[in-house]
Structure 1
Amino acid sequence: MTHGHNHRPADVAPGTVILCATRELPGGLQWAHLPVDRFLWAAEELRDGFRARVRRTVGDPSAPVEVVEGA
């Protein structure tokens, strides 16, 4: 991720993925995380809804979303 906001596989709880949305602001980077059950994330038809949710949390409907998977 950008500007020193990094993720490691060890940051992810077993059985989940973490979605991270980021937004550039004048004072720096704003970010939001959404943990998602790995079983639910595997359902392609649900993924856009999860991405939209974390983007709403960060306040930008077009924010990039990184998917962080555990080891």
Structure 2
Amino acid sequence: MTQSPVCIRCGDNYMFTRMYKGNYCPDCHEAWAVAPRSEVPPRPRPRSARTPSTVPRQDDETFGPEPPYDEA
């Protein structure tokens, strides 16, 4: 038995059609489709596995003991 999908906006169950297999019920999809772009929150950009992190790596050498120095 296939369960009917649940709308991610309102939580109602709805049926897929041949033309639409999305995450919103028909009413919520229509509201989303006609909403001005300023009201639709931007989707987060996917991170590539090749993209380096913006946080620098902390190598053991970086945080080792400070070398001795002469006081003048």
Quick check: which one's helix share is greater?
1
TM-score in same-fold range (> 0.5): no
Q: What TM-score do you get using the length of structure 2 for normalisation? A: 0.22
Q: Which structure exhibits the higher relative contact order, with contacts defined as CA atoms closer than 8 Å and separated by 6 or more residues? A: 1
Higher share in strand: 1
Larger radius of gyration: 2
